[in-house]
Structure 1
């Protein structure tokens, strides 16, 4: 056993692996800086030699990931050095979202700025090909480095949607279907997970919170100490199917009394007697939805000891009317409610969080492994 351990620990590191690591280190140093920085600053921050940094930066510039601009401000003697920043036109990430009553797409650049956005009200269950429709929505957009799809369901690591009750999907190979249509690899993830990661980046605040995505279905993205909690199989966050009334209304998932049947979009509209959110009266009674959300969220808080809950999707603009019911149940049911208050706030990104998160996941992959991006060009 000892010999095997020593052999593994002294195994040579491939030169390509060292270069890939150093490329990522240099690129991320620039990406996380609030202002343009010099090559010398990158060398000092990373511990790499100036010669090594110069070669890495040259590769990143020629690959379209960095640009050198105006000289950075300096206080000492000598000629000012050119400032390095992410190339705003260097690489684009395509984010796509499929939901029960709409399809959406957006493109973000390396800096996270949105370059393209479109939302198309439609029912994917009635479309001949949802993938073709998404491809049509994205015609004419800039050349993208990759694509990711946000789906309201359980997604396995290979991009297969194991079950999405509200779409009527089971074992749908969404990654292959959309990848063949777009002509590029497509990553697939749960919409609430992607929205939570985007919210984490946009808000720049607390690193631990539950993001609750309210649409026809209800999902949760759990961010714990700055990292997304996925669970053993990557299927965490299905808060919409927590029972709030165990013997209550039948749910599409086959169970009864699920949160979605009391606080989902269709339940809210049904209770108000309208068919669209645009028709929802300002004085509509949302106490049933707020109470149901409060019951479910109290269980999440008791289990994970959270102090912040972010409401996204339709819940953001409805938060003022949902808040009384939610807070009443949190006070009643959370064991530590009298000791530590729980913050409720609306999503910073609103309804765009999932597709933004999908697009940003493409950019994040480039920043984490620029060598793979440069090697494919």
Structure 2
């Protein structure tokens, strides 16, 4: 019971702080004496701080404001993408205190080399965090691919060229190997926790070279029976379409993936950041690019129709790098969904761009640890 009450008090301050002890007691339904004892324990563990006097507007002694500590426990987020590596550290308040995103053409390099460089970035970020008074309580790695049931293996990440990769086998012994999670899932969680997304049932799209999605139902990730839910990029749009890297034909990625859009636009050459190249050409009014983006938006709308009819989400959030393409994708997506969704009322405002954009997966990776601490602080002294 005490473990649950510690979590209740800390979660209340996290959601609504700064709050006085009396205000916390009023919100959680415990006595002031019980809350005071729990608060003292959380203060002693370095999870809360008691700051300036907070006026209550009522007679009597004003309370001191409780808030999450900006030092102490923190989460380390890591990310490997086709063209970048990332690392960030967030404190209990969810504020990024360390942030690194560096270019790296990972799709053409061995996994061992990529993970070695990522480990160096993780170690440097950890040192920076320590200098800020932060203590890393866990590390999570965002990966653009399908994970094994135990979340220790990247079974299939075609845009990295990874198949059956176990990151822990290539991680330095001096560093704790990170937990693995799909980058689309982490982008969705970041949207819930830090993106200001009011809906708790949503489809979150994370797109760049590949296209993934995450389904959140009542504020919880839906993973599917074996953890493979969310492969939006391999939903068939045209069954007789071009062959996909997965082996099937006509998958969404063949029409709406960044490199597929570049090909459709007739843009040649290798681009370190294909989305940025598309944005530049769209802003210039490059007609073939605008047409290709319209076709990509139509393909997205076709693929998402089934999700809307099956799940009835309160929001569809276009995230990842494709947030930057929202001005050109969303109109065609909206038109297609409006034409196809007939069995339920369709509100075009359901579809919207992410507030976090490319930052989402990396931020979500770091937040996963701090959210676990907030919902179960006793885990720190088990």
TM-score under structure 1 length normalisation? 0.87
What secondary structure sits across from 2:316 in the alignment?
A: strand
Among 153, 160, 163, the alignment partner of 2:145 is 153
Shift of 1:302: 1.9
Which residue does the alignment assign to 1:87? 69
Whether contact under 8 Å (2:139, 2:178) holds in the other structure is: yes
Residues in 1 aligned to 2:138 and 2:355: alpha-carbon distance in whole angstroms: 25
Q: Does 1:211 align with 2:204?
A: yes
Among 366, 374, 379, the alignment partner of 1:372 is 379
Aligned pair count reads 355
1:89–1:178 CA distance, 2 compared to 1 (3 A)? farther
Q: Does 1:198 align with 2:185?
A: no
Which residue does the alignment assign to 1:27? 10
Structure 2 segments unaligned to the other structure (5+ residues): 131-135
Shift of 1:307: 4.5
1:112–1:355 CA distance, 2 compared to 1 (3 A)? same
What are the residue-to-residue correspondences of 1:242-261 with 2, within 5 Å? Answer: 242-261=235-254
Shift of 1:96: 0.9
Which residue does the alignment assign to 1:223? 216
Whether contact under 8 Å (1:66, 1:90) holds in the other structure is: no
Which residue does the alignment assign to 1:320? 327
Residues in 2 aligned to 1:159 and 1:42: alpha-carbon distance in whole angstroms: 39
* Partner deviation per Cα, 1:291-347 (whole Å, 9 max, x = no partner): 21111011211222235311112321112212333223213322247x422332111
Whether contact under 8 Å (2:55, 2:62) holds in the other structure is: yes
Residues in 2 aligned to 1:158 and 1:313: alpha-carbon distance in whole angstroms: 22
RMSD between superposed Cα atoms in Å: 2.1
Shift of 1:259: 0.8
Of residues 64-73 and 280-289 in structure 1, the stretch that sits farther from structure 2 once superposed is 280-289
Shift of 1:360: 0.7
Whether contact under 8 Å (2:84, 2:102) holds in the other structure is: yes
Residues in 2 aligned to 1:47 and 1:288: alpha-carbon distance in whole angstroms: 54
1:32–1:178 CA distance, 2 compared to 1 (3 A)? farther
TM-score under structure 2 length normalisation? 0.86
Whether contact under 8 Å (2:119, 2:172) holds in the other structure is: no
Whether contact under 8 Å (1:40, 1:50) holds in the other structure is: yes
Shift of 1:190: 0.9
What secondary structure sits across from 2:339 in the alignment?
A: helix
Which residue does the alignment assign to 2:90? 108
Whether contact under 8 Å (2:186, 2:365) holds in the other structure is: yes
Which residue does the alignment assign to 1:14? none
What secondary structure sits across from 2:72 in the alignment?
A: coil
* Partner deviation per Cα, 1:50-104 (whole Å, 9 max, x = no partner): 3433332222112111001011212333322221100011222111111112111
Residues in 2 aligned to 1:141 and 1:95: alpha-carbon distance in whole angstroms: 14
Shift of 1:364: 0.5
* Partner deviation per Cα, 1:221-247 (whole Å, 9 max, x = no partner): 112232222111222100001111212
Among 136, 152, 157, the alignment partner of 2:120 is 136
1:320–1:158 CA distance, 2 compared to 1 (3 A)? closer
What secondary structure sits across from 2:155 in the alignment?
A: strand
Residues in 2 aligned to 1:77 and 1:374: alpha-carbon distance in whole angstroms: 39
Structure 1 segments unaligned to the other structure (5+ residues): 1-17
Residues in 2 aligned to 1:210 and 1:94: alpha-carbon distance in whole angstroms: 25
